[in-house]
Amino acid sequence: MSAAQATASRAHPAGEGAGWGPGEVRLNVEQASYAYAGEREAPLFTLEATSFQARQRELVAILGPNASGKSTLLRLISGALAPLSGRVELDGAETNRLDPRTRARRIAVVQQESSLLFPARAWEYVLQGRHPYRRALRFETAEDLAIATNALAQVGAEALQDRWMDKISGGEKQRVILARALAQQPVLLLLDEPTLHLDIGAQVELLQRLRQLAQENRYTVVVVTHELNLAAEFADQVVLLHRGRSLRVGSPAEVYRQDLLEQVFEAPLEVEIGPAGRPRVIVQGNRSEDAGG
C-alpha cells in the first residue's frame, strides 16, 4: 500500500516462507563467548557465555558500563567475530558463517563513528546501502534509487538528500546513516551507541524512530547504549553486561533493580516504576554524603 510497507515486504523475501512467523525467534544468541588475544597466553578481554533470544519487531538494548563487553557482543551478533564457543543464529543460520554479501543483506550495522575521506552527499551515502545487492561492474538501478529515496523518507531526511555529509548536524547525520542501513533492507538492525553526541531531543526521536521501524518493517533491533532511561522506555528486552559477564536478561522491569544497577554502574541510583510500568532511574547525587554523616 504505502511505500514504507512496500519496502518492508521486500525486506523479507524469505520471511514467512521459511517458517519464521511473527512469533518465532529470529535472533538466537546461545552461550556465545569471545576472547581477545593478549600479548601472551592470557586474553586481554573475555566476554563470557551470553544468551538471549529476540523476535521480529522486538527492540533489545545492551546495557553496561564502559569495557563491559557491549561492543564485543554486538560484533558477535553481526557476524564480524566468530564466537569462541556457542553460536549466534539469525533465522537459523550462524551469522559469522554467512558470506559478506548475504550477511549485508540480512544485517545492517550502524557504527559509532563513520568517517569519510572525500566529501559525499547524503544520497551517495544512502546508496552505499545498496552495495550488497549490486552486481559487479553495474551501476545503481531505478529500484536502488527508489529504495534509497524511500529509506530517506522513512527517517524524515528527504530534505537532506543533496546536502554534504560533513555540513549537516550530528542528529541529521545519524538519520542519514540510519537511512543507509534501511537501504540494505535488513531483517536485523544493529546500532552501536547511536545516541552518542546527540542532544536529548534527538536521542528520544531516534529511539522512537527505531521503535516505529521495528514495528513497520518488522525488524529486530539491537542497540548498545549508555542511556538507561531511554532503554527502559523503548526496549522490550534488556541485556545487562558487567566486566564481560551477562548479569541479567529480561524486560526493563525485571532487570532494573536498584542493588543490581548500583553494583554494575558503581553509582548511587534509585529505581522507580513509572505510570506505564516502565522503570526509571534517578541519580542520587548526595546520598553517599548523607549516609556518611
Partner 1 sequence: MRPVTLKRLAWSCGLLLAVLLAVVLVALKLGAVPLSVSDLALNLGRVAIGRSAQLPSEYRLIIFELRLPRILLGILVGAALSVAGAGFQALLRNPLADPYVLGVSSGAALGAIVSLVAAPHLTTLGPLVTPAAAFLGAALTIAAVYLLGRRGGQLDGGTLLLAGIITASFLSAVIMFLMTTLSGRDLRGMAFWLMGDLSTPPPPSTLVRSVFVGGILIAVGAIYTTAADLNLLLTGEREAMHLGVQVTRVKLVVYIAASMLTGLAVSVSGAIGYVGLLVPHAMRLLFGPDYRLLIPTSALGGAIAVVLADTLARTIAAPTELPVGAMTAMAGAPVFIYLLRRRLR
Contact between 90 and 187 (Cβ < 8 Å): yes
94 contributes a contact to partner 1 by CB under 8 A:
no
160, 152 in Cβ contact below 8 A?
A: yes
Burial of 205 (0-12, 13-18, 19+ CB in 10 A): middle
Using the rule CB under 8 A, is 131 a contact of partner 1? Answer: yes
Q: Which is nearer to partner 1, 85 or 128 (CB)?
A: 128
Please report whether residue 114 would count as binding partner 1 according to CB under 8 A. yes
Binding mask 232-271 for partner 1 (x = CB under 8 A): ----------------------------------------
Question: Which listed range, 105-113, 198-206, 215-223, 263-271, lies at the site for partner 1 (CB under 8 A)?
Answer: 105-113
Which residues make Cβ contacts (< 8 Å) with residue 190, sequence separation at least 6? 74, 77, 78, 107, 108, 109, 110, 221, 222, 223
Contact present, 168 and 155 (Cβ < 8 Å): no
Decide if residue 139 touches partner 1 (CB under 8 A): yes
Residue in 107, 238, 239, 269 binding partner 1, rule: CB under 8 A: 107
Q: How far is the CB of 3 from partner 1 (least distance, A)?
A: 16
CB of 20 to partner 1, least distance (A): 22
Q: In the structure grid, which three cell numbers stand for residue 266, read together? A: 558503581
Q: Which helix (H) or strand (E) holds 103?
A: helix 100-106
In degrees to the nearest 10, what's the CA dihedral of 125, 128, 130, 132?
-160
Nearer to partner 1, 177 or 228 (CB): 177
Binding mask 178-207 for partner 1 (x = CB under 8 A): ------x-----------------------
Backbone angles phi, psi at 85, to 5 degrees: -140, 165
Nearest CA-CA partner of 89 in 30, 14, 34, 22: 30
Binder of partner 1 out of 13, 119, 250, 274 (CB under 8 A) = 119
Q: Which is nearer to partner 1, 155 or 264 (CB)?
A: 155
104 binds partner 1 (CB under 8 A): yes
Report how many residues bind partner 1 under the rule CB under 8 A. 36
For residues 143 to 182, the per-residue mask of contacts with partner 1, x marking binding by CB under 8 A and - elsewhere, is: -xx--xx-----------x---------------------
Q: Does the protein bind partner 1 through residue 137 (CB under 8 A)? A: yes
Q: Which of residues 22-81 bind partner 1 (CB under 8 A)?
A: 78, 80
**What CA–CA distance (Å, rounded) separates 7 from 14?**
14
CB closer to partner 1, 25 vs 120: 120
Cα–Cα distance for residue pair 288/285, rounded to 1 Å:
8
Task: Compute the chain's Rg from CA coordinates.
Answer: 20
C-alpha distances (whole Å) from 198 to each of 175, 238, 266 are 11, 22, 24
Q: Which residue bears the cell 536485523? A: 188
Q: For 225, how many CA atoms within 13 A lie in the half-sphere containing its CB?
A: 27
Q: Is 105 in the site for partner 1 (CB under 8 A)?
A: yes
Query: Which lies closer to partner 1 via its Cβ, residue 90 or residue 281?
Result: 90
Q: Which amino acid is at 89?
A: E
| Given 21, 100, 250, 274, the residue binding partner 1 (CB under 8 A) | 100
* Residues contributing to the site for partner 1 (CB under 8 A): 78, 80, 100-101, 103-105, 107-109, 111, 114-120, 123-124, 127-129, 131-132, 134, 136-137, 139-140, 144-145, 148-149, 161, 184
